[in-house]
Amino acid sequence: MELPRQRAGSRELPVRDAAEGETGTPEGGSALVTSTLTPPIDEFRLIPRPQLVTRALPGWVKRFRANPRAKNITSDVVAVVLAVLDVWLVIPEDAPGYSLPLSGAAVAAMVMRRHWPFLAVLVTVPGFLTGWSQLAAMVALGTLAKRRGWNWQLVVGSILVFLCYVIIWPLSDFVTMTWREHALDVIWGVIVAGMPVAIGLLITARKELSARITELANSREREKALYAETVRAAERTKLAREMHDVVSHQVTLIAMQAGALQVAANDERSKETATTIRRLSTRTLEELRSLVGVLRSGVGGEGQQPGLERLPDLVSNFRSDAVPVALDMKAEPSRLPRSVSHAVYRTVQEALTNVRKHAGGARASVKVTAQKDILVVEVRNERAGGRSPVLPSGGHGLIGLRERAGLLGGTFQAGPTSEGGFRVSATYPLAG
């Protein structure tokens, strides 16, 4: 009994049908394969439609895309199902007995294509040559191109798939074919072997391009961060230089003049005042040098900044007959975060400075209370008892305290009281 021509004969009719306008073929064959190789343009799109790009994906789709194991299993299942359908829908009833096991082996190779793509191509070759596992061979070849790229294995696999399409089994049918049929098989063989290779290489190139774009974006972000840090470092250096050249110089002169006054003063009150001025000037110089060092190095120096443990000394420096100050501190400095301790010190310092400048002769009170998870600091002063001397003021002290509290996650309030005084209150979180 004469065997049917398994690929060349079945492929010839669909091609003639397309040219002559005929419909269908009683041969079976690979009409399904031919329609698969020439899909409509709208169905074969490598770039998603614009409306699909902007549309929000469902949650289960996002979880599926983020799970590589689920994607691999689904890919294997789809490949096996398509390969089975490709064989089952075109195999004739009088097929030779050896073609079905070889085609089944080619279908089974879909499971190993992700781990051993070249071996999967080799397994599909016999089934493609003597059977009907064309789609399985194309899928395996595309996976090889995607996984390994352009190398000798891809060249060998492409040649084998091309030859499997061009050579007709049995060879007696191949010998009897006309030159037109051979030429047509060569053209379709190039398409069958070249299309999966092109798609696989295109997917690989797309992934590499996406990775390069991501790396370029990250490098640009790093460059922006480095540039911003360079600008900040230059500004810090400039600020540190100005502070050292101007502020430190002036404070040093104040300390020297206070020292000279301390030696030359005849009465005890003048000596005591000069001693206080010299002590405050010296302490200010130490803090300025520490701050200049922090600005030049760019490293936070919270450990060198004054904190809650120096609050009694700060209050005693402000306390005098003109400005009596009462301190009520219910907090353990060693148990507080260093940033909070320093913020409390600066808050009290600024508030008492404002009392000295704007409410001379008024009584003031400082209250620091550590509660469960916050630290509350409050500075109050009564109505001014007399006219205060006019001192320069930049108007940024309270703004800076508000910003400091906001950076630490706290709150800040300042305003006049009903008795005619002024109240400054701030809260700082203790957690972290």
Q: What is the pLDDT of residue 395?
A: 60
Look at residue 425 in the predicted model and tell me its pLDDT: 93
3-state secondary structure of 378: strand
User: For residue range 243-300, what is the model confidence (pLDDT) as tens digits?
Assistant: 766 677 677 778 778 778 877 877 877 877 888 788 778 777 777 777 777 777 665 5
Element (H, E) at 384: none
Stretch 326-339: mean pLDDT: 85
| Per-residue pLDDT, 302 | 54
Ramachandran area for residue 298 (φ above 0: left; ψ -120 to 50: alpha; else beta): left
More confident residue, 45 or 180: 180
Above 70 in pLDDT, residue 42? no
Report, as an integer, the average pLDDT of 231-251. 75
| pLDDT for 5 beyond 60 | no
Mean pLDDT on 391-409: 78
Comparison of pLDDT for 106 and 24, the residue scoring more = 106
pLDDT exceeds cutoff 50 at 19: no
CA distance 133 to 139: 10
Mean pLDDT of the chain: 77
Q: What pLDDT, on a 0 to 100 scale, did the predictor assign at position 45?
A: 40
Give the pLDDT score at 264: 80
Paired sense of beta strands 325-330 and 374-381, if any: unpaired
Element (H, E) at 56: none
Task: Evaluate if residue 305 carries a pLDDT over 60.
Answer: yes
Confidence (pLDDT) at 423: 92
Confidence of residue 412 (pLDDT cuts 50, 70, 90): very high
Do 134 and 166 touch, CB atoms closer than 8 A?
A: no
Question: Between β-strands 325-330 and 364-370, what pairing exists: parallel, antiparallel or unpaired?
Answer: parallel
| pLDDT above 80 for 49 | no
Mean pLDDT of 64-93: 80
Write down how long the chain is: 432
Rounded mean pLDDT, 393-404: 77
Helix segments in 168-267, DSSP class H: 171-175, 179-242, 248-264
Predicted pLDDT of residue 167: 86
pLDDT at 83: 83
pLDDT band at 177 (very low <50, low <70, confident <90, very high): confident
How much is the pLDDT for 212? 92
Lowest mean pLDDT among 44-48, 74-78, 378-382, 402-406: 44-48
- Alpha-carbon distance of 218 to 195, in angstroms, equals 34
Give the pLDDT mean for 398-420: 88
| β-strand partners of 347 | none
Can you state the angle between helices 152-166 and 117-130, rounded to 10 degrees? 10
Query: Of the ranges 163-172, 208-217, 228-237, which is most confident?
Result: 208-217
The band of 55, judged by pLDDT with boundaries at 50, 70 and 90, is: low
| Residue 7, C-beta contacts closer than 8 angstroms, at least 6 positions apart | 29, 30, 132, 134, 165, 168, 169
Q: What is the pLDDT of residue 230?
A: 86
CA–CA dist 99, 352 (Å, integer): 98
Least confident of 98-102, 279-283, 340-344: 279-283
The whole-model pTM stands at 0.45
Q: What average pLDDT score do residues 40-58 get?
A: 48
Give percent above pLDDT 90 in the chain.
10
- pLDDT surpasses 70 at 184: yes
